[in-house]
Amino acid sequence: MGQTITVPTKTIEEILSRLDRLTREIKAIKTKLFEEEPPYGSDEWWKWSNEKAIEDYKKGRYTVYENAESLIRDLHKGK
């Protein structure tokens, strides 16, 4: 059963690109799934929590509110 098929180079490159992206996404998901949070309130937890907060801030994962009303509105939305 020595059947051979011909696939255009562009198609192979697209497949490899998608596989690379999927590999990175899976790695990120696995990192989050297996990340262990230290016991709440412990010194290790505070260090871990601060590092996560700094990482979030550096990556722009925060919201700036102009006033308390807009903050309260978002809190009621479940944001």
What pLDDT, in 10s, does the model give residues 12-62?
Answer: 999 999 999 999 999 989 888 887 888 899 999 999 999 999 999 999 999
What's the angle, vertex CA 77, arms to CA 76 and CA 79, rounded to 5? 105
Residues 42 and 79 both lie in one domain: yes
In a domain, 2, yes or no: no
Residues 76 and 52 both lie in one domain: yes
Residues 57 and 73 both lie in one domain: yes
- Based on the structure, what is the number of domains in the chain? 2
CB 51 within 8 A of CB 44: no
Q: According to the model, what pLDDT value does residue 1 have? A: 64
Residues 28 and 63 both lie in one domain: no
Q: Is the pLDDT of residue 79 over 70?
A: no
Residues 47 and 24 both lie in one domain: no
- Whole-number Å distance between alpha carbons of 29 and 52: 16
Whether this prediction's pTM lies above 0.75 is answered by no
Report helix, strand or coil for 18.
helix
* Domain limits for position 74: 38-79
Token pair in block for residue 28: 């990120």
- Whole-number Å distance between alpha carbons of 23 and 34: 16
In a domain, 12, yes or no: yes
